[in-house]
Structure 1
C-alpha cells in the first residue's frame, strides 16, 4: 500500500485515480482539504475498498506516523502543497507552513518509520517528492530549457517554498540515507484543475460570458504537460528511478499564455458556440501584469526518457481538446467548485484524522 499526500487536489486526485486503475494497489490518501482539495474529484472511488481517505495535515507528525504504521506503507508520493503563485504573493505564510514546515514534519515522521523497517522493506521503500519547474526561475527567449543541473533561482514565494522543500528532501537523503526521488514538472492541465489557473479559468469564464483576463502582453511562455502524462511519469520514477536523483517532467509543448487562450476560444467556438454567434476571443482583455512574473519556463525531459523510457503520450492539441471537453461535460463539478458547495459536502462526509 502507498501513501499519497494531497490526493484530493488536481494532480494528486488524477494520480490516485490512475494509479488504482493501472495497478490495483491500494492507496491511503491524506489531504488537508484546503480550498483546492475537493473530495468530489474522487467520487469514482467512493465505495472502492482500495482507497482509504484521511483528512489531515502533513505537519501532524503523530498522524503521519500512525498511518505509516497502521497501513504498513511501502512508498509515499508527496503532492501536498500550496501551489498558486498569485495567492503566495498576497499570503506567503500558508506556503511556508505547508510546503516547508509541513514537508519537514513529513520527512521526520517517515524517517522514523523507515529506520525501524526490516532490511528487505527498508531497501525497497521510496519517498517521491513532487516539485515544479518554477524553482529554476525564468528563462530568456532562446535560452536552453531547464535541465536537472540548472541553478535554482526561485522568484515567487511559492517557488521559493518549493525550492526549500526540494532541499530538505535532498538533505534527508544525503544526511540520513532516506531513499528519496524528486520530480520537477512543467505546467499541468487537465480534468479537476481548480478554476483559478489559466486554462480552467479561461474555459469557465468564457462559458459564463465573462472577460478572459490575460496578464500583461500574454507572451509569457510555459511548457504544458497533460496531467495523466505527468501521473504516468511519476509512477515510472517511483518504480525505476535512481535513488537521490531528480527527474524533470515536461510535455515538450512551449506555448504563450495568449496562444493558450486563443486555442481554447477556437475549441469552444467549435464545441459550444456562443448564442450570438460571435467568437469567444472577443472576451479577451489584458490586465496589469503580476509582480515578479517569470517570462518563460521550459523543461528538458531527455533524462527521464533516456534513463526510464518515459515520454508524454499527448500533444498539446490532443490534451487541450480532451480538457475542454471534460469541462463541458462536467458543469455540476464547476458549479460546486464556484459555489463552495463541495466544501459543505466534505464537512458532512469527513472528519479530521479518521483512517
Structure 2
C-alpha cells in the first residue's frame, strides 16, 4: 500500500512528503506538474529514497491518476495541488479556476472510480484528504470570533473563491457518492521551502538584498500564522483519525498584523546577519498601495481538532519565525535557484506600480 500526494513539490506538499518519509516506511507517490512554485530541489534529500516515487503530471489528467492509483494500490490521496497566491489570482484568475476547480473535479472522479472497485478492508480504509484554506470564510473584524468549521463561506478573491468551490465539490462527492473524504482548512503557513512571492520569504529575501520590504496599505491586516511542520503533523493526525465527511480547521493560535511579522523577522536578521552599514533592516520597510479587496483579518479556531483528535501546534510564532529565518540564511542557493527571471518580472509587475 502507498499514499498519493498531489502537489508534493510545492511548499506545504514537499514539507509533508519529507516529514512523512522521515516517520514512515509507507511509500509516497508524488504527483506534481511542476508549475512555477513546484520545485524538485525541495525534495533533493529524497533523490535515492526507495519510498519516494515522483511523477510529473496534472491532477486534471484522469487517465494518469487512475493508472497511479491502480498500479501502486493507493490507500489514501492527499490533495495539496493548488494555485495559491491571491495577488496572482487577481491578475490571472483563469489558472486558479482550471487547477483548483476543474483539476479537483477530475481528481475526485478518478478517485471515486478507483474507490468504487475496491473490496473489503481496502475500500473501508480508503481516504481522500483535501487541503484547503481559511480564506474561504472571508474576512473578520478585529472583535469577531475566529473562524470555526461552521462559518459560512464568503470568499473575497478569485483564489479563495476557487478553493471554496473545490471544498464544495469534495463535500458533494461524500454526500452524493459516499467517497470517504476529509477536509482541512488552514491558516497562513510559513517555514522552509516557501516560494518567495509570499510575505515572509519575500521580505527575508529583499532585506538581505537591500531592497524595499513592501507592506500593503498600513500593514495592519491580521493573519493567524501556522508553522508548516505543525500543519503537516495536523494533516497526518486528521488522516489517521478524522471523522469521514468532516472539516477540521488547522491554526497556529498566532494572530499577528503583517507589519509586526515583518518587524519581527527584521529584528532576527539584525541579530543573525546585521547590515554592513549598521542600520536596522526595518529601515527598508516601504508602504505600497493596498491590493484590491484585501481581507482585514483571518483567525482560525482549531478547538475541534484539539478536542477530537488531540492535536495542537508545537511551535509558537517566536520559535517558528526564528527557525524560518535561520533556514533561509542557510539555504541561499535554493533561494537563488527559484528566483528566476520570470519571478523577478512578476515582482516588478505586482509591486512596481504600487510604490
TM-score for both structures, normalised by structure 1: 0.96
Query: Shift in Å at residue 341 of structure 1?
Result: 11
User: For the residues of structure 2 that align with 1:205 and 1:196, how far apart are their CA atoms?
Assistant: 11
Determine whether 1:234 maps to 2:235: yes
User: For the residues of structure 1 that align with 2:170 and 2:120, how far apart are their CA atoms?
Assistant: 22
Q: What does residue range 71-220 of structure 1 map to in structure 2 within 5 Å?
A: 71-220=72-221
User: For the residues of structure 2 that align with 1:211 and 1:301, how far apart are their CA atoms?
Assistant: 35
User: For the residues of structure 2 that align with 1:84 and 1:62, how far apart are their CA atoms?
Assistant: 28
User: For the residues of structure 1 that align with 2:178 and 2:123, how far apart are their CA atoms?
Assistant: 11
Residue correspondences, number:
342
Corresponding residue of 2:16: 15
Q: What does residue range 225-264 of structure 1 map to in structure 2 within 5 Å?
A: 225-264=226-265
RMSD of aligned alpha carbons: 1.0
User: For the residues of structure 1 that align with 2:231 and 2:245, how far apart are their CA atoms?
Assistant: 20
Determine whether 1:37 maps to 2:16: no
3-state SS, counterpart of residue 95 of structure 2: helix
User: For the residues of structure 2 that align with 1:47 and 1:113, how far apart are their CA atoms?
Assistant: 29
TM-score for both structures, normalised by structure 2: 0.96
Query: Shift in Å at residue 339 of structure 1?
Result: 2.8
Corresponding residue of 2:352: none
User: For the residues of structure 2 that align with 1:148 and 1:340, how far apart are their CA atoms?
Assistant: 41
Query: Are residues 77 and 96 of structure 1, via their aligned partners in 2, closer, same or farther at CA, if it must alter by over 3 Å?
Result: same
Query: Shift in Å at residue 40 of structure 1?
Result: 0.2
User: For the residues of structure 1 that align with 2:123 and 2:164, how far apart are their CA atoms?
Assistant: 27
Corresponding residue of 1:293: 294
User: For the residues of structure 2 that align with 1:185 and 1:39, how far apart are their CA atoms?
Assistant: 24
User: For the residues of structure 1 that align with 2:203 and 2:115, how far apart are their CA atoms?
Assistant: 44
User: For the residues of structure 2 that align with 1:20 and 1:88, how far apart are their CA atoms?
Assistant: 32
3-state SS, counterpart of residue 339 of structure 2: helix
Residue deviations 1:87-133, cap 9 Å, x none?
Answer: 00000000000000000000000000000001210000000000000
3-state SS, counterpart of residue 26 of structure 2: coil
User: For the residues of structure 1 that align with 2:179 and 2:342, how far apart are their CA atoms?
Assistant: 41
Query: Shift in Å at residue 340 of structure 1?
Result: 6.1
3-state SS, counterpart of residue 74 of structure 1: strand
The runs of at least 4 aligned residues of structure 1 exceeding 6 Å deviation read: none
Residue deviations 1:336-355, cap 9 Å, x none?
Answer: 0113699xxxxxxxxxxxxx
Query: Shift in Å at residue 142 of structure 1?
Result: 1.1
Query: Shift in Å at residue 22 of structure 1?
Result: 1.2
Corresponding residue of 1:317: 318
Corresponding residue of 1:350: none
User: For the residues of structure 1 that align with 2:37 and 2:155, how far apart are their CA atoms?
Assistant: 23
Residue deviations 1:273-299, cap 9 Å, x none?
Answer: 000000000000000000000000000
Query: Shift in Å at residue 23 of structure 1?
Result: 1.6
3-state SS, counterpart of residue 153 of structure 2: coil
3-state SS, counterpart of residue 47 of structure 1: coil
User: For the residues of structure 2 that align with 1:180 and 1:325, how far apart are their CA atoms?
Assistant: 37
3-state SS, counterpart of residue 255 of structure 1: strand
User: For the residues of structure 2 that align with 1:341 and 1:9, how far apart are their CA atoms?
Assistant: 17
User: For the residues of structure 1 that align with 2:25 and 2:216, how far apart are their CA atoms?
Assistant: 42
Corresponding residue of 2:271: 270
Tell me which of the two structures has the higher relative contact order, counting C-alpha pairs closer than 8 angstroms and 6 or more residues apart.
1
User: For the residues of structure 2 that align with 1:339 and 1:162, how far apart are their CA atoms?
Assistant: 27
Structure 1: runs of 5+ lacking an equivalent: 343-355
Residue deviations 1:194-230, cap 9 Å, x none?
Answer: 0000000000000000000000000000000000000
